[in-house]
Amino acid sequence: MAMTGVLRPGHAQVRVLNLEESVRFYRDVLGLVETGRDAQGRVYFKCWDERDHNSYIIREADSAGLDFFGFKVLDTATLDRLEADLRAYGLATTRIPAGDLLETGERVRFELPSGHLIELYAEKTAVGNGIDEVNPAPWSQQREHGIAPVRLDHALLYGPNVAEVQKIFVDVLGFYLVERVLTPDGEGNAAIWLSCSHKVHDIAFAEYPEKGKLHHCSFMMETWEQVLRAGDIMSMNKVAVDIGPTRHGVTRGCTIYAWDPSGNRFETFMGGYQPYPDYKPLTWTFDNFGQGLDYPQRKLHETFLTVVT
């Protein structure tokens, strides 16, 4: 499809309890590439095959969780237009100056009715993926370190007012609904999966009473074998695994959910199908939520509903 408007998830800033322990985890176990540190003490990472300077930023704090989640948009004209559209819709926006995040341009930030801070930005320095731009090799040495996902793929966020959140993403930001799980009475959505691209989801939300919660940030692996290898590396490093390796019914993605040392859940993920914006959304009834989460086991794992940061 012609990609305009919002391009993709670009960055997540996550709070961790112990910075250096977390750096060792994200760099050496998950295998992200450390790309910088700033005056506030934040540590910046990217996945090996991402080309922009950073996609995952951690800062030390007293509680785990998500500070904000950012999407890259096509260009500054698109950023200005989307900011105007958000304001016309009735949302307050603030501009964060270029350079506040390393190698990142001006950001437009707004708060969703779910309590999450979402950002849009047009510029982040392209540092490349360590592979030549002329006659490129298929991968670089950076893929040989830890789990080594190729990119930050999506996030699942928990909070109230998911119906309003859906309207903002669909009516203002140009996303489309790919799948949903109905509430027990069938009247509303308990969870929604939204795409701004050809991916099966770029962001997802589940209805939850507390505002601004993180369920997981997801990192894309290239193959199912790489997901299994991620599970091996998790066990070798005594990482706390939540669910999997298994396959989600929703999205058909193959997955492991696990926790970082601070209790932030992350996912190593591959697959799913490739939807288009004209596809009719797929619907799961609440009694089939278990298959949606874990298709082989048909199990609605308790932690999926209750453990968030």
Interface ranges with ligand M3P (CB under 6 A): 156, 181, 218, 248, 250-251, 253, 267, 269, 289, 292-293, 304
Q: Which of 6, 12, 11 is nearest to 175 (CA)?
A: 6
Check residue 179 for interaction with Fe ion (CB under 5 A): no
For residue 136, whether the previous peptide bond is cis, meaning omega lies within 30 degrees of 0, is no
257 is catalytic: yes
Q: What share of the chain is helix, strand, coil (3-state, %, to 5)?
A: 20, 35, 40
Which x/- pattern over 192-221 shows residues binding Fe ion (rule: CB under 5 A)? --------------------------x---
Question: Choosing among Fe ion, ligand M3P, none, which partner's interface includes residue 178 (Cβ < 5 to 8 Å by kind)?
Answer: none
Question: For Fe ion, which is the closer residue by CB, 262 or 268?
Answer: 268
Task: Check: CB of residue 166 under 8 Å from CB of residue 229.
Answer: no
DSSP secondary structure letter of residue 296: T
Token pair listed for 284: 């799961």
Question: For ligand M3P, which is the closer residue by CB, 110 or 289?
Answer: 289
DSSP H/E element including 234:
helix 224-236
Largest CA distance in the chain: 56
Cα–chain center distance at 113: 18
11 is catalytic: no
Q: How far is the CB of 44 from ligand M3P (least distance, A)?
A: 24
Question: Choosing among Fe ion, ligand M3P, none, which partner's interface includes residue 250 (Cβ < 5 to 8 Å by kind)?
Answer: ligand M3P
Enumerate the β-bridge partners of residue 135: none
Q: How far is the CB of 201 from Fe ion (least distance, A)?
A: 7
From 154, 207, 208, 215, the catalytic residue: 154
Question: Choosing among Fe ion, ligand M3P, none, which partner's interface includes residue 35 (Cβ < 5 to 8 Å by kind)?
Answer: none
Report the alpha-carbon distance of residue 75 to residue 55 in Å, rounded: 18
Give the residue numbers annotated as catalytic, written as ranges.
154, 201, 216, 248, 257, 267
Can you give the binding site for Fe ion, defined by CB under 5 A? 218, 267
